[in-house]
Amino acid sequence: MKIYLLGTKGEMSQVVVPDSNFSSGTCLQSRIDCTYSELVKAFGEPTHKGDGYKTDAEWDILTPFGVCTVYNYKDGQNYNGANGLAVEDITDWHLGGFDKRSAEAVVARIRSTN
């Protein structure tokens, strides 16, 4: 699977990891208010088009502090059908991981590119 790699100086690259459970078990570390287009500008297209149930888009990002996942939660069309937000209209994004510093690194990248 492809993931994004965030370097110590904010540089980005995309790498392939063999483990499909790369971000399994992450938990909410923070949230950010930004647009879908801001996330695409910072990281590129989502690594997943959601889980088909509670999320609609997800980025898996490996930071110097471990993995960080950026995803919407229960506000999109996967969860709410026609009453849900289109992914382009979502502005409340969750940051999951195992260490708050990974979320802080992702927020810094988003802020620096927008």
**Chain segment 85-103, per-residue pLDDT in tens:** 999 999 999 999 999 999 9
Residue 2: C-alpha distances to residues 6, 32, 49 (Å): 13, 23, 13
Number of structural domains found in the chain = 1
Q: Which domain, by its residues, includes 92? A: 2-19+29-113
User: Rounded to two decimals, what is the model's pTM?
Assistant: 0.90
Read off the pLDDT of each residue in 68-93 and give the average, rounded to a whole number: 97
Q: pLDDT tens, 23-47? A: 788 899 999 999 999 999 999 999 9
The answer to whether residue 86 sits within a structural domain is yes
* Residues 75, 73: Cα–Cα separation, whole Å: 6
Read off the pLDDT of each residue in 68-80 and give the average, rounded to a whole number: 97
The answer to whether residue 15 sits within a structural domain is yes
